Amino acid sequence: MPDTRPTSDQTAVLSFEDVTFQRSGKLILPGVTFAIGRGEHWVMLGVNGAGKSTILNLAGGNAHPTSGTVEVLGDRVGRVELRALRERIGHVDPRHTIRSPLTIEEVVLTGFTGTAERMMRWVPEPAQIARARELMDMLGLAAKSESVWPTLSQGERGRALIARALVTDPELLLLDEPTTGLDVAAREQLIETLEVLPTNHPDLTSLLITHHLEEIPTTVTHALLLRGGAPSAQGPIDEVLTTEAVSHAFDHPIAVRHEDGRWSARSIRR
């Protein structure tokens, strides 16, 4: 079983130290410890209810731990103004709610205001518009910039939300199951988009949640497996995503394969 202890890293972008979290008297996280170094790209896997989204919310400054310490970008959650902290974090959530018929460009620009809708009387600066268009071009959305949200495919929405998250040049990118609802072609296009980020944003650090090994980009460097709200394995991805470790985390015999940089899993017949 891979070593579950985090390595000491003075350049840690995200650090959890013996973090617990309770909601309505129920213990969600019994004690989580891990650290993500600058420029690393992590994937977090575990069964439904394992605590993945709770960890992501804590990492994004959207919740406070019940006990223990969460440090994000050098600041401790609970001792820093959260709005200022969130401005340094990009968050991609496919459940992002947009009720107005905003264009792709308008959606991307809401990343500057941190709102779901365009703020009244807010006018983007020319440099902000240029940055939004630069990202839309990089993500293959330039020709669709005036298309409105209700008419977009799930894949186009996913890429638009990535552009929105990147528009402020965040230091940390959090991705909560970004391929949710995508067909195979759109999923692969989105994964390809994620794979170019380390090249175009070499200082970016990321944490991705997914349920499927097949959705892990080739550029992911580390993995964190959760079981019962606590890490069961963590570290370099090649050391963590083993048949033994994944089977233990999911409490089911799962054969893990790694081929051409991509991962896959299938049930082991008893």
Q: What gap in Å lies between CA 241 and CA 222, rounded to an integer?
A: 9
Q: What gap in Å lies between CA 220 and CA 227, rounded to an integer?
A: 21
* Residue recorded with tokens 């090249």: 199
Supply the pLDDT for residue 78.
82
Mean pLDDT value across residues 141-166:
91
Is it the case that residue 86 has pLDDT exceeding 90? no
pLDDT 10s digits, 28-76: 999 999 999 999 999 999 998 899 999 999 999 888 999 999 999 999 9
* Residue recorded with tokens 């990089």: 138
pLDDT 10s digits, 204-252: 999 999 989 999 999 999 999 999 999 999 999 999 999 999 999 999 9
Q: What gap in Å lies between CA 253 and CA 246, rounded to an integer?
A: 8
Supply the pLDDT for residue 210.
92
Mean pLDDT value across residues 69-89:
87
Angle (CA) 240-199-171 rounded to 5° is: 75
Domains annotated on the chain, with CATH = 1-88+170-270 (3.40.50.300), 96-168 (no CATH)
Mean pLDDT value across residues 153-163:
91
Both tokens of residue 212? Answer: 């499927």
